[in-house]
Structure 1
């Protein structure tokens, strides 16, 4: 099975304003070289995420283990090489000194060697990033798993600007970045508190953001119980856009909830392979725990509205999007408002994904509703030749996976914005950071909306606003009914 770079190349082409074939040629000619200080706390975790993020592009990738006290040890080098091969066996990680005189050189640590382009280091739950010529301050705290993922994602973001060849005005090289997703207004490393155990928490969506959240929780060594809800299976295009999962996982056709379950080593996961609506029915039937906190990683307004109907105490919704798919956002929603319907207004004019899939493929809506069932030869009966030729490419795959399939998205929705792992990971860090802040009492006050474009970087003084409920929203008009539903679920669970 060959690696499918279609989504990362499409995002890069959109961001650079060039054809995808041009962007792919540009990426294939790029060399990204890595070095690191193995003595730095969380250096190995940062490298693990960074190597995977960069290997999800068709670039050449090399790693110099270094020498002296900070040299990377052999087991880590082997693990990184395996990680890269699991994503693309045809583009192995080259170990040794850089082959080129002027490669794009990323360093993990606070004392980058000469020739480094940009260096990054986790400081507690946050990140410190410095371009060449800008020294690091003394770090405030050892890096955590959250800081490691954020550092890797932001280093990958800096590489993306160069590798994709973003034109002037479409990005910003910020020479100094200090950012903490737990308390964005504070300096990194000043807020480090013991994590609470996950309790009555649900992860809604196992896609790009959901797998990013799973990655962060695992590297934070989080414990407790977590319900994971998603209706789709892990497919080949997901390998280069999600934070976990390999070509072997795609070949096995793992459901996304099982993929996340296997990755969360210290958390007791209840996987629910189905829609958010079905999970609500299971909650009310008593077969699924009612969540008090929801971590959201969904990509449609309809699904977000369904998520709100869980009527949890708090929803922390992560999102990606914007003009080219590089914008990340966090929406904090309450049952009393602002809820996700206040943030995301209903679209009464657009067609549902199911309707668009029906119009393109000719598959009956009743068949599309049986989403988890794989397509068979029998489903080709009654289709016209053009539809039969199209659908036959997907025999053996579940119908639900086709709704967001890269092969069909380009035909059904010209506004499709594929995400990249380094973008989705930054959204995931906002979600997990908010969970830490809200569940430990570090932060109270009104719900926030946080948003920034990863091409320009976070600006804590400009990217946060507080939201009030929309007066015409369901959360205000039906407040008494919502409270009755919440009370019934509280008693039932």
Structure 2
């Protein structure tokens, strides 16, 4: 099985305004070279994420372990090489020095050499990035797993601007970045509260954002219990757009809930292989615990509306999107409003994913509804020649999740915006940062929407809006019913 770079190449092509073949050629001709301060707190976690993020592009990737007291540990170097090989064994991580001015040089730490273009270091739950010529201040706190993921994701974002060749006006170089997703308006390292144990928490969606959330929770060494809900399996295109998972996992068509459970080594995971609606029914029959906090990483309005129907005390929804798929956002929601229906208005004119898949492939809606069943030769019998050619390449794979794969293989829906791991990870950082802030009392008050485009970076003074309930929304029209549902579920649980 060869690594499928179609999603990362498509996102890069959209961002750069070039066709995908041009973008792929540009990426394959690029080299990114990494160095690091081996004594930096959380350097191993940061490098683990950064190497994986960069290996999800068809670039040449190398790492210099360094020399002397700051040299990277041999065991870490081997682990990083294994991480890269799990994503693409045909493009190994090259170990050693590189000479000349060709590579883009990135550094994890506060003491980069003069030839480094961008350096970054986790500071508590946040990050500090510096372009060449801009010194680091003294860090306020040892880096955490959240700070490590954010640092890696933002360094990868800086590399993306270069290797994708973004044109002027489509990105911004910010020489100095100091950002904390727990307290966006404060300096990194100010918020150092450890996250609490997970109790009655549900993760809705095991895709690009959901795997990013899982990665952060694992690197934060969070304990407790977590319900994970997703109906799909991990497939080949997911390897280069999700934060966890290898080619071997894709070959095995591992359910995404199982993929996440395998990553969360300190957490007791309740994997629920089904839809959000299915999980609601399980909660109401007492077979699944009612969550009091929901972390969302879904990709449709309807699914988000279903997530709200869990009527948890607090819902923290992460999203990616925007014109080219590089915008990230957090939406904080309450059962009494603003709820996710206040943020995401229903679009009754938009076709469902099932309807789009039916029109694209010709598969009957009744067959699409049996989403977990793998496609067989029998499913091709009722299709026209063109549709049969399209569907045939997916034989043996479940129907669920096929809409994106079909579009990437020649479908006509140009509205699809694939995410990249470094983008989804920044959305996941906003979600986990808000969970830490709200669950520890660091942040109280009105619900927030936080949004920024990763091509331009976070702007703490401009990216937060405070929301109030929308008049006429369900959360305002049916408060009695919502209260009754919540009380019933509290009793059942």
TM-score interval, normalised by the smaller of the two chains? over 0.9
Query: Residue 357 of structure 1: SS of its match in structure 2?
Result: helix
Q: Which residue of 2 aligns with 1:328?
A: 328
Q: 1:179 to 1:410 in 2, by over 3 A?
A: farther
**Is the aligned partner of 1:49 residue 2:42?**
no
1:111-150 alignment runs, 5 A limit: 111-150=111-150
Output the CA distance in 1 between the equivalents of 2:154 and 2:95.
Answer: 23
**Contact 1:358/1:364, CA 8 A, preserved across alignment:** yes
**TM-score normalised by the chain length of structure 2:** 0.99
Quote how far apart the aligned CAs of 1:122 are. 0.2
- Report how far residue 175 of structure 1 moved: 0.3
Q: 1:435, 1:145 → 2: CA distance? A: 14
Give 1:409 deviation, angstroms: 7.4
Shift of 1:274: 0.6
Say if 2:7 and 2:408, in contact at 8 Å, map to a contact too: no
Q: Once the two structures are superposed, what CA deviation does each residue of 1:222-266 show, in whole Å capped at 9, x if it has no partner? A: 000000000110000000000000000000110100000111000
Secondary structure, in 3 states, of the residue corresponding to 1:287?
coil
Tell me, in whole angstroms, the C-alpha distance in 1 between the residues paired with 2:216 and 2:104. 26
In the other structure, the counterpart of 2:199 is 199
Q: Give how far 1:101 is off.
A: 2.5
Q: Is the 8 A contact 2:55 2:61 kept in 1?
A: yes
Task: Find out whether 1:79 has 2:79 as its counterpart.
Answer: yes
Cα distance in 2 for partners of 1:133, 1:57 equals 28
Partner Cα distance (1:492, 1:132) in 2:
58
Aligned equivalent of 1:216 = 216
Question: CA offsets, 1:359-400, max 9 Å, x none?
Answer: 222211111111111111222222222222222211110000
1:123 positional shift: 0.2
TM alignment of 1:397-476, pairs within 5 A:
397-405=397-405, 407=407, 411-476=411-476
- Corresponding residue SS for 1:367: helix
Residue equivalent to 1:316: 316
Task: Give the corresponding residue for 2:306.
Answer: 306
Aligned-partner Cα distance in 1 for 2:406–2:28: 21
Distance 2:406 2:147 in 1: 31
| Equivalent residues of 2:62, 2:96 under 8 A apart | yes
Q: 1:213, 1:433 → 2: CA distance? A: 10
- The runs of at least 4 aligned residues of structure 1 exceeding 3 Å deviation read 406-410
Give the aligned partner of residue 490 of structure 1.
490
Q: Kindly state the Cα deviation for residue 311 of structure 1 after the two structures are TM-superposed.
A: 0.5
Structure 2: runs of 5 or more not aligned: none
Give the distance between the partners of 1:417 and 1:442, measured in 2 at CA: 34
DSSP 3-state at the match of 1:358: helix
* 1:107 paired to 2:101: no
How far apart, CA to CA, are the structure 2 residues paired with 1:364 and 1:315?
Answer: 35
- 2:162 corresponds in structure 1 to 162
TM-fit CA distance, 1:99: 3.9
* Distance (Å, rounded) in 1 between the aligned partners of 2:460 and 2:401: 37
* 1:356–1:412 CA contact under 8 A, matched in 2: no
Checking the alignment, whether the CA contact within 8 Å between 1:61 and 1:94 is kept in structure 2 is yes
Number of residue-to-residue matches in the alignment: 493
Gaps of at least 5 residues in structure 1 are none
Give the conservation status (yes or no) of the 8 Å contact 2:407–2:416: no
User: Distance between the aligned counterparts of 2:100 and 2:407, measured in 1?
Assistant: 36
The answer for the alignment partner of 2:369 in structure 1 is 369
Deviation string 1:20-40 (CA, Å, 9 cap, x unpaired) is 111111100101000000100
**Structure 2 match to 1:352:** 352
User: CA offsets, 1:188-233, max 9 Å, x none?
Assistant: 0011112210000000000000000000000000000000000110
Superposition TM-score, scaled by structure 1 size: 0.99
> Could you say if the C-alpha distance between residues 213 and 409 of structure 1 is closer, same or farther in structure 2, counting changes exceeding 3 Å?
farther
CA contact (8 A) 1:237 1:406 kept: no
String of CA shifts for 1:77-119, please: whole Å, max 9, x gaps.
Answer: 1000111011011110000111442421000000101201010
| Matched residue SS, 1:245 | coil
Q: Retained in 2: the 8 A contact 1:357–1:412? A: no
State the distance in 2 between where 1:251 and 1:409 align.
Answer: 18
More displaced, 341-350 or 396-405? 396-405
Instruction: Tell me the distance in 2 between the aligned counterparts of 1:391 and 1:103.
Output: 41
Question: Displacement, 1:412?
Answer: 4.5
- 1:128–1:177: 8 Å Cα contact kept in structure 2? yes
